[in-house]
Amino acid sequence: MKFKKALLEEWMRDYYFETDYDIGSSGVENYSMTDLYELTGLRREDLDAVVFHDSMTLGGDAARQALADRFAGGDVSRVMVTHGSTEANFLINAGLLEAGDEVLVLDPFYQQLYAVAEALGCRLKRWPMRWEDGFQPRMEDLDDLLTPDTKMVVVNFPHNPTGATIAADEQAELIRRCDQVGAYLVWDGAFSELVYDTPMLPEPPLVYERALSMGTFSKAYGLPGLRVGWCIAAPEVLEKFVRLRDYTLLHLSPLVELIFQKALEAGDVLVGKRLEQARGNRALLDGWIRAHSDFIEWALPAGGVTGFPRFKNGLDVEAFCHRLAQEKRVLLVPGSCFGFPEHARLGFGGSTAELEAGLDAIASLLG
Ligand SMILES: Cc1ncc(COP(=O)(O)O)c(C=O)c1O
């Protein structure tokens, strides 16, 4: 397998630790261990009692039960705990695809969601999300794009980087269309719980046997450093991943699984706090963009904590993002990491003070 450079990760490696104001990431303000003691039922004695046994391949019983209760109607046989959703994505691609398979992916898209298939030698087709449509994908595009040759469709709603999402009836139509051609539907739900005006969309694997969904603690839960995520799929599909995992990570740490379980059980509290913060930041950012319409415009994100604004006046956005990081210590991600060079990914999930400092820096260089 030949992997291309992961452009976003390269950018983060260069600047994530070298900047003070992060308005480029797709996460929320992160929680500390102290926060977890306060907000979940976790106690210090629980951690002291952990014995570092191996855990089970699909995840320890308590962790899987908490996961199934929150997302899979309690059905433990359909859930797997993973080392971030990055691992889930890798298992899905390596476990279900072969060279030559046709895979339909969104454009723009988080690179890992298509690059593993590409490295396996699959043929990629792209479902465009257009600026002129506010990045809303057109269902009618699927008339030509989805065929009996389509092995897998990979989507992510709410979407990184645009914040666009689809309506519940469109999700149902997408599932119906995948069923018609017998394609797998891979649903990256990294931002599922971060929605502003509509309820969270249902989990596709609960209604379609060839659907798989991924989730993560790295976004809405504010725990990216815990490195934990999940996959929901039919038990026979998860069985294939068990065989693959024997050659990669074997299982997670019981320590991580305990924190995962407790944080999931307190999920409404953890996610609720950050969703409210992001809602306020989104309004603030919308006002700021309107006030600076001489150099920037955007489509208001319906979910997630990133937007994908377009800079005007022929600005070299990548050069500008380098300058912003080096001169102002502000992290913004150039749209070139997603193949859209006039845009940048602007994250509003962090603290309001950090967002304001980052926006002031942009205005001081462009205003
Ligand atoms: C859309 C999307 N999916 C998956 C991931 C991977 O997350 P993790 O491996 O931290 O769970 C990210 C991280 O940025 C993402 O933006």
* Closest ligand 1 atom number to CA of residue 25: 14
Is any ligand 1 atom within 6 A of the Cβ of residue 190?
yes
Topology of the domain covering 49-266: Aspartate Aminotransferase; domain 2 (3.40.640)
pLDDT of residue 88: 98
Q: Report CA(367)–ligand 1 centroid distance (Å).
A: 33
pLDDT digits (tens, 9 = 90+) for 300-356: 999 999 999 999 999 999 999 999 999 999 999 999 999 999 999 999 999 999 999
Is any ligand 1 atom within 6 A of the Cβ of residue 15?
no
Domain residue ranges in the chain? 7-32+269-366, 49-266
pLDDT of residue 246: 94
Is any ligand 1 atom within 6 A of the Cβ of residue 220?
no
Would you call the peptide bond into 158 cis, given omega within 30 degrees of 0 as the criterion? yes
Q: Report CA(85)–ligand 1 centroid distance (Å).
A: 6
Closest CA to 254 of 6, 4, 52, 92: 52
Q: Report CA(26)–ligand 1 centroid distance (Å).
A: 9
Partners of residue 152 on adjacent β-strands? 103, 184
Is any ligand 1 atom within 6 A of the Cβ of residue 192?
no
- Report CA torsion sign: 3, 245, 84, 271: positive
How many whole angstroms separate alpha carbon 224 and alpha carbon 256? 12
How many whole angstroms separate alpha carbon 31 and alpha carbon 221? 8
Q: Which amino acid is at 221?
A: Y
pLDDT of residue 67: 98
* Closest ligand 1 atom number to CA of residue 85: 11
Q: What values do phi and psi take at 113, rounded to 5?
A: -75, -15
Q: Report CA(290)–ligand 1 centroid distance (Å).
A: 29
Question: To test the ligand 1 pocket, which listed residue (92, 129, 216) has its Cβ within 8 A of the most ligand atoms?
Answer: 216
Is any ligand 1 atom within 6 A of the Cβ of residue 82?
no
Span 148-164, average pLDDT: 98
Q: Which amino acid is at 182?
A: G
pLDDT of residue 1: 85
Same fold, 7-32+269-366 and 49-266: no
Is the pLDDT at 210 greater than 90, yes or no? Answer: yes
How many whole angstroms separate alpha carbon 269 and alpha carbon 221? 9
Question: To test the ligand 1 pocket, which listed residue (80, 218, 227) has its Cβ within 8 A of the most ligand atoms?
Answer: 218
pLDDT digits (tens, 9 = 90+) for 10-60: 999 999 999 999 999 999 999 999 999 999 999 999 999 999 999 999 999
Q: What is the mean pLDDT of the chain?
A: 97
Contacts of 160 (CB under 8 A, 6+ apart): 26, 110, 190, 191, 304, 306, 345
Which DSSP symbol is given to 175? H
How many whole angstroms separate alpha carbon 214 and alpha carbon 95? 15
Q: pLDDT above 90 covers what percent of the chain? A: 99
Is any ligand 1 atom within 6 A of the Cβ of residue 111?
no
Span 135-150, average pLDDT: 98
Q: Counting beta carbons within 10 angstroms of the beta carbon of residue 282, is it exposed (0 to 12), middle (13 to 18) or buried (19 or more)? A: buried
Report CA-CA distances (Å) from 152 to 161, 170, 229, 326.
Answer: 21, 18, 21, 41
Using an 8 Å Cβ cutoff, are 242 and 57 in contact? yes
**Following DSSP, what letter does each residue of 59-73 receive, concatenated?**
--HHHHHHHHHHHST
pLDDT digits (tens, 9 = 90+) for 160-203: 999 999 999 999 999 999 999 999 999 999 999 999 999 999 99
pLDDT of residue 77: 98
Tell me how far apart the 2 most distant CA atoms of the chain are, in Å. 60
How many whole angstroms separate alpha carbon 332 and alpha carbon 112? 19
pLDDT of residue 113: 97
How many whole angstroms separate alpha carbon 48 and alpha carbon 34? 15
pLDDT digits (tens, 9 = 90+) for 196-209: 999 999 999 999 99
pLDDT of residue 367: 78
pLDDT digits (tens, 9 = 90+) for 237-282: 999 999 999 999 999 999 999 999 999 999 999 999 999 999 999 9
Nearest CA to ligand 1 atom 3: 190
Cα radius of gyration rounded to whole Å, the chain: 20
Is any ligand 1 atom within 6 A of the Cβ of residue 161?
no
pLDDT of residue 20: 97
* Closest ligand 1 atom number to CA of residue 159: 1
Is any ligand 1 atom within 6 A of the Cβ of residue 156?
yes
How many whole angstroms separate alpha carbon 151 and alpha carbon 96? 9
pLDDT of residue 110: 96
pLDDT digits (tens, 9 = 90+) for 229-248: 999 999 999 999 999 999 99
β-bridge pairing 310-311 and 306-307: unpaired
Joined together, the tokens standing for residue 284 give 């603030």
Q: Which amino acid is at 310?
A: R
Is any ligand 1 atom within 6 A of the Cβ of residue 26?
yes
Joined together, the tokens standing for residue 193 give 């719980």
Is the pLDDT at 72 greater than 90, yes or no? Answer: yes
Q: Indicate the angle between helix axes 254-265 and 61-71, nearest 10 degrees.
A: 30
Is any ligand 1 atom within 6 A of the Cβ of residue 84?
yes
pLDDT digits (tens, 9 = 90+) for 79-117: 999 999 999 999 999 999 999 999 999 999 999 999 999
How many whole angstroms separate alpha carbon 53 and alpha carbon 304? 36
Is any ligand 1 atom within 6 A of the Cβ of residue 88?
no
Q: Which amino acid is at 58?
A: L
pLDDT of residue 244: 96
pLDDT of residue 76: 98
- Give domain 7-32+269-366's CATH superfamily: Aspartate Aminotransferase, domain 1 (3.90.1150.10)
Using an 8 Å Cβ cutoff, are 274 and 135 in contact? no
How many whole angstroms separate alpha carbon 132 and alpha carbon 37? 46
How many whole angstroms separate alpha carbon 60 and alpha carbon 81? 8
**Following DSSP, what letter does each residue of 242-272 receive, concatenated?**
HHHHTTTT----HHHHHHHHHHHHTHHHHHH
Contacts of 236 (CB under 8 A, 6+ apart): none
Nearest CA to ligand 1 atom 14: 26
Closest CA to 225 of 5, 94, 33, 87: 33
